A and B are shown apart, each in its own frame.
Chain A
Amino acid sequence: MAKANQFLKWRFDVNTFRLLGRELITDRITAVFELVKNCYDANATQVNVDLYNVTINADDRKITISDNGVGMSYDDIENKWMVVGTNSKRTILYSEKPFNRRFVGEKGIGRFAVDKLGGNLIIKTKKKGDKEWLNVNINWDEYESKSKGSQLTLFTDIENPVFASPGKVDEQGTILEISFVNEVWTKNDIDRLYKELTKVVSPFHPLNPPFNIYVNSNEHKEYTNKLVKADAIKYSSHQAAIDFDKESGKQEVLRFDTKAGKIITDKVDIKSFGPVRVKLYFFDEEAKRRFRKSYKDSDKRIDGVKVYRDNVVTTPFAEFEDDRDKQRDVLGIDKRLWRDIFNKISTREVIGVVDITKEDNPLIIDATNRQDFVDNAEYRDLKEFIIEQLDVFSQVKIYERLLKRVTTTSALQKAGRDVKFFKEAIESIENQNPTLKPVLESIKTQAIEVSQAISKGISEQKKERQEFIRKENIYFSLMSLQDYAIRISHAVRTSLGKIKRMAEFFKNNFPNAKYEELFKDYALMIYDEMNTLNKVIDFMLSYAASNVDFEDFSVKKLIEELLYSGYKQTFQDEGIKVTVEIKDDFIINANKKFFQDIIQNLVANSIKALSNEKNKIIKCTGYIEDDYFIFIFSDNGNGINEGDEEKIFGLYYTTTAEHGGAGLGLFIVKTRIEALKGTVEVKESEFKPKGASFKITLPFKKNE
């Protein structure tokens, strides 16, 4: 028990860990959230978050977080709170009955959340049965000032005063009183905090025993002990829910019935991860607009799928992140967007709740050291399952867009026909009754005008379709550009690192005779590395230089032109025999330069592979299969080693270094093809046992 004038000392270097804490808890909303999670872990049934004078620039700004949880003993504070323990060391995952709560707080980091909020902290805590409240006063800034002082101080030497205050035996809980609050909290900040706190407990299944959070602000009337409660999910355009039946061992799954044009449920066997309940709310553009209108703040409330275990959020652990691109997407929903961005459902269009339980889903295991689940086969199945359910909504999306387009187009065409018919009818009346001609003339003129307007409407609509496709294309090429920017900056830094180390070695050791051989090697390597860098930069610049304009061109014509005329001289010089057999023609709307790059790099790659071959052949075949243009490019060179089929497309991967290969060519081929939404793979060589064949598949849209 605490006695008067006692002190507690930290058991680690606070300054170091404060820095880390600041790095990881970058936002004060996350900070409060972390502290609330700790209250949850302490089996509290009630938490009060009290913000006092935080909106104005007052000196007495204060944030108090109090709970009625189990509280801490002197020993707890001395041996747990003042010691850094990472949460990976936690061995018990659930709190005691009747709470059975899965621990969600990050102990190692949560503590420093307080530091993010304000400069001074008083912890008041009491366990049931203790006679007095225990108080510890922590002044973070003292560490700062000590560390700046000239005298070397051990941070563990700093004393935090401890004192006792009277209490009743059956009281329990912990109160964190944070003063010298660092930042001003606007009403908007408090709204965001409130919204974030609504995610802790499942919106459909309240906890028992409860976990009620109240937000209180003396400056905003609506936050007078306001209970944190999730809003009902309104305005969604489509929704679906699936359940399960343990008796029969069946799990419901969603399916889109194309004929009926609606979502239905099927029953399948319960999956590897156990039975789950899922509720999904999808918002189409119209629904999003309605949603935004009623919740003025933004569409950030539509924030993807969350998994609740025994009704408490598990993943993503509602970590506040304002920047949508940085939000954690543990279920991998947005990672799939690349392939088909305009149809796939993103986390911005859906609110979903997946309910699992400790009892029914034991193979979905909580990871102890991070905020996710253990990556096992069952968890992967669960992720895939969730994505499959979401994909049903993307079918809805495609269906409805098609429906809308078909309706508009056919309505316009029908109107066109009607007007034509009308005009013909007038003409026939005119012929039968020439005296009516002057009267009918103006009606005829109007009909012609309407007819012209409709034709214009139809062509406008076509143009809009094309514009949509064009935008889609640009979007894609930008997406892939972002991807190479990351990969290339990594590669450039690797190259620069090598060059720099060699240069540093020269600087420190030249002309030490001992290293003469190395100096020669390094000089060559620096030269080669510089050449590679130069190529990488040219490639990057090709993006800047090539206009993003897309044009229609014939693939057959382009390939024939390039292989028969463009490289004629090269093939002659190298003694390569070229065969081009493009069966079907195919007009593509794409960046011509990209396409030329693909052919150019495939040719260059083949030339290197053929260097030791006597009878050199390059063969190129093209044909249409289903909705794809297939294009096979082969040579009879030295081929690709088994197991390297994937690697060869990686940046800087080369097997032809001796012929000046820098590992760029096939990387360019792959990325350019991806920018055209196609795929490239190595298939069995047409010139087996020698040679290599690349199969390129490009999608085309017959109806567009």
Chain B
Amino acid sequence: MKTTKIVVIHDDILEKDPLLVVLREEYGADNVILKKKSKEGLNYVLDNLSQKMVVILDLNFKAGEPSGVQVFEGIRKQTSLVYVIIWTASALEDINREDLKSMINNDALAFMSSTDDIEKIVSKVNSASHQLDIRIDSALEQWISLHPESEKQSPYILSRDGKSYSLNEILQEIRLKTPFGMETEKDILLLAIDMLSRGKKKIDG
């Protein structure tokens, strides 16, 4: 079963919308979340940054709610690890140019039209989810999951400033892009390259 959470932030679709039905088939009912209020959607994403997440985001919300672009910027202020797919009924040329620039600069994964095939949207979500899976934090998560629960919680490494981190905490730090998290991520990469240079066999072994 896939572990990526798919968060759909859209004020004009129903829980039983076929897109959600199909996504639930692929990702499991608990992993597909619909938020009809953009503010709630943003809060949900920010509260769950330690999860692997793909966000499908509408651009137009009712007056008083943050707009899709604002939600997007809100997410990017915190993390660049969440993939965001824009899903809108507006034609690309109707979107405000500044907003478009902001989305491009903030690394939107894709722009989808509300009349696009479900299949096309799902395949974008799948590729985003795959991208997530092959990232260091995801590989680490998989590896951690092989350990017994007690081991996940107990101190695993000591940072240079003397603080200790459990396996779960390391994962969290990497996802939240803290200085320690980024340092560790780099160390893991260097180690992997080092091992690769010493010969493939050792890795397999």
Contact = CB atoms under 8 A, between A and B. Distances in A.
Contacts of A515: 21
Given A504-B119, A505-B118, A518 B21 contact: yes
Interface in B1-19: 12-13, 16-19
Given A369-B105, A370-B101, A497-B115, A505 B22 contact: yes
Interface of B: 12-13, 16-19, 21-22, 60, 62-64, 89-91, 94, 97-98, 101-102, 104-106, 113-119
Interface string A508-535: 0000000100100110000000000000
Contact of B63 (A370, A498, A646): A646
> Which 4 A/B pairs are nearest by Cβ-Cβ distance?
A497-B114, A505-B18, A493-B89, A501-B18
B115 A493 contact: yes
18 contacts: A24-B97, A88-B105, A88-B106, A369-B102, A490-B90, A491-B89, A497-B116, A501-B18, A501-B19, A505-B18, A505-B21, A505-B22, A515-B21, A518-B21, A646-B63, A646-B64, A647-B62, A653-B62
Contacts of A650: 62-63
Nearest to B19: A501
B114 A108 contact: no
A486 B115 contact: no
A440 interface: no
B94 A498 contact: no
A490 B19 contact: no
A24 B92 CA distance: 13
Given A497-B89, A504-B18, A505-B21, A370 B102 contact: yes
A500 interface: yes
A128 to B, nearest CB: 33
A501 B105 contact: no
Q: Which of A108, A370, A646, A653 has the most CB of B within 10 A?
A: A370
A652 interface: yes
A489 B115 CA distance: 12
A631 to B, nearest CB: 25
B117 A504 contact: yes
Contacts of A521: 16
A502 B89 contact: no
Given A490-B89, A498-B17, A650-B62, A86 B22 contact: no
A164 interface: no
Contacts of B113: 493, 497
B18 A522 contact: yes
A89 to B, nearest CB: 9
Nearest to B104: A20
Given A24-B101, A490-B89, A497-B113, 9 more contacts: A20-B104, A24-B97, A24-B104, A87-B105, A369-B105, A494-B114, A501-B17, A504-B117, A505-B21
B130 to A, nearest CB: 19
Contacts of A88: 105-106
A372 interface: yes
B3 to A, nearest CB: 24
A518 to B, nearest CB: 6
A108 B12 CA distance: 35
Contact of A504 (B62, B104, B118): B118
A653 to B, nearest CB: 8
A518 B20 CA distance: 12
Contact of A370 (B98, B114, B118): B98
Contacts of B16: 518, 521
A450 interface: no
Nearest to B90: A490
Contacts of A502: 18
Contacts of A578: none
A501 B16 CA distance: 11
Nearest to B117: A504
Contacts of A647: 62-63
Nearest to B58: A494
A650 B63 CA distance: 9
Contacts of A371: 98
Contacts of A505: 18, 21-22, 118
Contact of A500 (B13, B62, B115): B115
A486 B116 CA distance: 19
Contact of B114 (A20, A486, A493): A493
A371 B102 CA distance: 11
A254 to B, nearest CB: 30
B74 to A, nearest CB: 14
A242 interface: no
Contacts of B119: 504
A504 B89 CA distance: 18
Interface in A71-125: 86-88, 108
Interface string A164-193: 000000000000000000000000000000
B9 to A, nearest CB: 15
A505 B21 CA distance: 9
A408 to B, nearest CB: 45
A129 B53 CA distance: 51
A213 B97 CA distance: 28
B63 to A, nearest CB: 6
A221 B6 CA distance: 64
Contacts of A270: none
Contacts of B105: 86-88, 108, 369
A522 B21 CA distance: 12
Interface string A458-497: 0000000000000000000000000000100111011011
Nearest to B107: A86
B58 to A, nearest CB: 9
Contacts of B90: 490, 493
